[in-house]
Amino acid sequence: MPDPRLAELSRRLPDLRLLTAPGDLEHYGRDWTRRWTPAPLAIALPASVEEVQVIVRWANEQQVAIVPSGGRTGLSGGAVAANGELVLSLERMDRVLDFNAVDRTLTVQPGIILQTVHEAARSHGLIYPVDFAARGSCSIGGNIATNAGGIRVIRYGNTREWIAALKVVTGNGELLELNRGLIKNSSGYDFRQLMIGSEGTLGIVVEATLKLTDPPPPSQVMLLALPDMDALMQVFELFRERLQLQAFEFFTDHALAHVLAHGAQRAIDGDYPYYVVTEFDAVDEPARDAALAAFEHALEQGWVSDGVIAQSEAQAAALWRLREGITESLASRRPYKNDVSVRISAVPAFLHDMQALLAHEYPQIEVIWFGHIGDGNLHINVLRPDDLAEEAFIAQCEHVTKLLASTLQRHGGSISAEHGIGLVKRAYLESTRGAEEIALMQGVRKVFDPNGVLNPGKLFVGS
C-alpha cells in the first residue's frame, strides 16, 4: 500500500520525480562512507526552487526528515539516509544559469558537477579555482555544504572564498537571497557565510553565484622524494619562500604502493618514505631557475633524496596522478577515514604525536596518510585486515579517533578539515568547538530549521 505521506506529496507536486525502488533507495541513501545501511522513505528529485520549497513545507507538516543530496562523495556520513528520511537529490538542478563578464561570476544550480563548472569557466577564459580529485562526481551544492578545500587551497583558499551569493531554502520553506553578489556588504550578518559549511542543517542551497578569476600563469610540476618526516616542513618552507606555490601535497610510500598497484607509473626509482608533489609558477626562465636552485639547495641540505620535474602536460598529469589517485586506489578497501587539520606552524609537532599514536594503536593495521601540508590538512585512511570483523574494526577505529581528537585539541586543531562532521565525527565535535559555541550553533539551527527537518542527526549528537 502506498505511503499516504508520499501520496500527499505527489498530489501537491504531480510532476515531481519520486523514486521508491529498492535499488534507488540504496543508491541515493548512502555516501562514500558505506558504513550505514540505507533506509530512506523515498528519493525526491525536484527540478525547480519552487518544488524544493513545497517539499520542505510538506516535510514540516508530515514530520518527515530531509537529507539533502548532491554527488554523495562525502566521507563523513553527511548524506546518509538510514532512518526513513526523504532524500532530496538536487542532481536534476544542474544548469549554468548566468555568466556575468563584468562581475566575473557564474551563477549555477546546486546539482552541477564541479568539472562542468570548470569547463564553463574556461569557456569564458576564466577559472573557478577550487579543485580536487572528485571533481568529476562531486556537486557544487555539496562543496558549499562542507566548505570543500582541495589541492590548491594554498593558492586560492577554500570554497567560501569563491561564493559571491546564495539562494537558500530554509527549514520552514522560506527562500533567502544572500549577499546578491556584492563585493562589499556591511549591512548586518552575512548568512551566506553561515550557510557555507553547515552540512545542510540550516538550509538547502538552490542557487549559487561563483566568483571566477584569471587562469594561473604557466606552471611546472615537481615530484620530490624525501628521507624523513622532518624534511616535509623544511622543504615546504624553502619552496614557499623562493617560489610562488600553487600546490604542495605529500603522501607516504604506502600510499604510493597502492596507486602504483592501481595502474599509475613510477616516476622516481628507489623507495623513499615520503613524497611531495608541488606545482609552482614558472612564467619565465628566472622562475624556472629559482625552482631548480631550490631543489638543489634541498638536496645539499639532505632534505630531498631525489626528484623529477615534468617536461610536458602529460608528464605533469602523470605526477599528479600519484597523489590524486590515492583515494580511488583505496576505495575497494572501504577505509576508515580521518580528515584533520592544524595550523601550519603546528604541523611538525602534531605529525610526530600523530605518527606515534597511530603506530601504537594500529600495530598490525595498515594506515595510509597523505594531505595538503601547505594548509595543515592531513587525510588518514585505516585499512581493515581481512581477518578482522567489520564491527570490531569500526570499534577500534572509533577508539583511536577519540584519542586523535584529544591530540588535535592539544595542538589547537580540528577533527574535520574539509569533509564535514556528519555522522562520523559528531561525537568529537567538542574537541574542536567549546560547549558554549556548540550551544550557540544549536540555537542558530533552531532559528533556520525550527522543526529540525533538515539533516537531523548530522553535526550534533541527538539532533
Please check whether residues 248 and 205 belong to one and the same domain: no
Tell which wins on pLDDT, 153 or 208: 208
* CA atoms lying within 13 Å on the CB side of residue 87: 31
How far apart (Å, rounded) are the C-alpha atoms in residues 60 and 449? 10
Please check whether residues 282 and 231 belong to one and the same domain: yes
Please check whether residues 306 and 322 belong to one and the same domain: yes
Is pLDDT at 1 greater than 60 in this prediction? no
- Residues 402, 361 contacting (CB under 8 angstroms): no
* CA atoms lying within 13 Å on the CB side of residue 267: 28
Please check whether residues 371 and 323 belong to one and the same domain: no
Please report, for the domain that includes residue 395, its CATH number.
Answer: 3.30.70.2740
How far apart (Å, rounded) are the C-alpha atoms in residues 378 and 344? 11
**Predicted confidence band of residue 77 (pLDDT cuts 50, 70, 90):** confident
Question: Would 109 be classed as within a structural domain?
Answer: yes
- Residues 231, 181 contacting (CB under 8 angstroms): no
Please check whether residues 352 and 390 belong to one and the same domain: yes
Please check whether residues 376 and 422 belong to one and the same domain: yes
Q: What number is the average pLDDT over the span 74-79?
A: 83
Residue whose C-alpha cell is 617536461: 311
* CA atoms lying within 13 Å on the CB side of residue 180: 6
Where among 211, 235, 256 does a domain terminate?
Answer: 211
Question: Would 137 be classed as within a structural domain?
Answer: yes
The one-letter code for the residue type at 98 is D
Mean pLDDT of the chain: 94
Question: Would 460 be classed as within a structural domain?
Answer: no
Please report, for the domain that includes residue 195, its CATH number.
Answer: 3.30.465.10
pTM listed for this prediction: 0.91
Please check whether residues 163 and 193 belong to one and the same domain: yes
Q: Tally the domains of the chain.
A: 4
Question: Would 450 be classed as within a structural domain?
Answer: no
Please report, for the domain that includes residue 245, its CATH number.
Answer: 3.30.70.2190
Question: Would 290 be classed as within a structural domain?
Answer: yes
Please report, for the domain that includes residue 71, its CATH number.
Answer: 3.30.43.10
Domain that holds residue 377: 334-432
Where among 265, 297, 327 does a domain terminate?
Answer: 327
C-alpha cell at 285: 626562465
DSSP line for 200-226 = TSSEEEEEEEEE-BPPPPPEEEEEEEE
DSSP letter, residue 246: E
Q: Please tell me the predicted confidence (pLDDT) of residue 270.
A: 94
Tens-place pLDDT, residues 119-162? 999 999 999 999 988 899 999 999 999 999 888 888 999 999 99
Question: Would 262 be classed as within a structural domain?
Answer: yes
Please check whether residues 239 and 168 belong to one and the same domain: no
Please check whether residues 125 and 73 belong to one and the same domain: no
Cα distances (angstroms) measured from residue 377 to each of 82, 332, 350: 29, 24, 11
Q: Please tell me the predicted confidence (pLDDT) of residue 72.
A: 87
Residue whose C-alpha cell is 544548469: 95
Q: Please tell me the predicted confidence (pLDDT) of residue 418.
A: 86
The one-letter code for the residue type at 104 is R
Question: Would 456 be classed as within a structural domain?
Answer: no
Tell which wins on pLDDT, 52 or 418: 52
How far apart (Å, rounded) are the C-alpha atoms in residues 298 and 304? 6
Report the C-alpha dihedral over residues 96, 27, 47, 93, rounded to 10 degrees: -10
Please check whether residues 118 and 190 belong to one and the same domain: yes
How far apart (Å, rounded) are the C-alpha atoms in residues 311 and 3? 61
Is pLDDT at 463 greater than 70 in this prediction? no
Please check whether residues 83 and 29 belong to one and the same domain: yes
Is pLDDT at 214 greater than 60 in this prediction? yes
Please check whether residues 23 and 129 belong to one and the same domain: no
Where among 327, 351, 376 does a domain terminate?
Answer: 327
Question: Would 129 be classed as within a structural domain?
Answer: yes
**Predicted confidence band of residue 74 (pLDDT cuts 50, 70, 90):** confident
